[in-house]
Amino acid sequence: MGEHRKGAAVTDLDDWYRAYRTVYEDASRGRTVACPHCGARSLRLLFVVRNQDDEDGTAAFWCDACLHGLMPTRAPVPPTGERYVKGTESVPDYSLITGD
């Protein structure tokens, strides 16, 4: 953040991972951390689980404003994480950020 590198993509994947970790640790930060792509404070992180009490889920992390986000990955559901049983989640068809 704030660092300029020649040839860097408009969106830096590292910034996304940093934002992900922040919101992962405290879900309430989703409304305070700026989206690395558009700057909006509308990041969403939710976990899709097969059963309500599963420890692991598929983490979907995206920005509600510009609809960009990370490729969903398996992760343990953190204490403050929003969890949805598969089929009940509402995740938009967002564009995946890739590291090239």
Closest distance to Zn ion from the beta carbon of 29 (Å): 15
Chain centroid to CA 71: how far? 9
Q: Which is nearer to Zn ion, 67 or 83 (CB)?
A: 67
Q: Which is nearer to Zn ion, 77 or 97 (CB)?
A: 97
Q: Which is nearer to Zn ion, 40 or 85 (CB)?
A: 40
Rounded to an integer, what distance in angstroms lies between the CA atom of residue 1 and that of residue 81?
25
Residue bearing tokens 């049983």: 85
96 is written with which tokens? 């995946």
Say which amino acid occupies 53: D
Residues that bind Zn ion (CB under 5 A): 35, 37-38, 40, 63, 65-66
Closest distance to Zn ion from the beta carbon of 28 (Å): 18
